[in-house]
Amino acid sequence: MSDTIDLTGDGGVLKTIVRHAKPDAIAPSESLPLVDVHYEGILADTGEVFDTTREDNTVFTFEVGKGSVIKAWDVALRTMKVGEVAKITCMPEYAYGSAGSPPEVPPDAILIFEVELVTCRPRRGASLSSVSDERARLEELKKQREVAAATKEEEKKRREEAKAAAAARIQAKLEAKKGQGKGKGKGK
C-alpha cells in the first residue's frame, strides 16, 4: 500500500491506494462523469461490513459531482483512475453526519470504503469527445456546409451563364438565317 493522502486538507477524506491503475488509465471527467464501482463499506469502530457489491458481484453506478452519493465519494472518485483500488476513510461530515443512515450506519460514524473504479463513461446520449472537441467538430461541419453551399452557388451561376451563352448562340444563328433568306432572290 502507498501513503495516505488527505484529499480535503482537513482530514475529512483520506485515501490510500491499494492497487495502482495502469499509467494510461482514464479518470472521471466532465465528459466521462458516470462511474461504475465495486466497493465494501466498513464501520471503523467495529470493523463490521455494512454494505458491499462484492457478495453479488454487482457494480454501483453514479455520476461524480452531482451529490447523489456521500461527499467523500464525490471527492475521492475524482482522484481515481479506472482499475485503481483505494481505501477511503470518511469522517462523519463527509459521510452520513450526525443523522447516520439507520439501521446500518450509526450517527457520527467514521466509515472506511475499499473502492475499485471499474469504468468511466459519458452520460447516456453523449459522445466520448469533450465539449471543446464537440464545438470544434460542429464548427468544422458549419465550414464544410458553407463551402458546399458556395460551390453549389458557383455551379448554379456557371450553368446559368452557359444557358445564356447557348441562348445567345441560338439567337445569333436564327438572326443569321433570317438575314440569309432575304437575299436569295425570292420574288415578291
CA distance 33 to 27: 9
Q: Name the DSSP letter for residue 93.
A: G
- 19 and 89 housed in the same domain: yes
- 8 and 98 housed in the same domain: yes
In a domain, 39, yes or no: yes
Q: Give how many domains the chain has, as a whole number.
A: 2
Contacts of residue 112, Cβ cutoff 8 Å, sequence gap at least 6? 41, 42, 43, 44, 87, 88, 89, 90
Choose the weakest-confidence range: 14-18, 40-44, 76-80, 135-139.
135-139
CA distance 62 to 69: 8
Tell whether pTM > 0.75. Answer: no
- Print the domain residue range for 91: 4-121
CA distance 132 to 86: 31
- 74 and 96 housed in the same domain: yes
Report the share of the chain in percent with pLDDT over 70: 83
- 99 and 137 housed in the same domain: no
In a domain, 182, yes or no: no
Share the mean pLDDT of the chain.
87
Any idea which residues carry the catalytic annotation? 39, 50-51, 70, 96, 113
- 77 and 116 housed in the same domain: yes
- 17 and 84 housed in the same domain: yes
- 38 and 90 housed in the same domain: yes
103 upstream amide cis, omega within 30 of 0: yes
What's 104's domain CATH number? 3.10.50.40
- On the question of pLDDT at 10 being above 80, the answer is yes
- 92 and 168 housed in the same domain: no
Phi, psi of 108 (to 5 degrees): 55, 35
- 23 and 63 housed in the same domain: yes
- On the question of pLDDT at 137 being above 80, the answer is no
pLDDT tens per residue across span 12-55: 999 999 999 998 999 999 888 999 999 999 999 999 999 999 88
- What end-to-end distance do the CA atoms of the chain give, in Å? 119
The band of 127, judged by pLDDT with boundaries at 50, 70 and 90, is: low
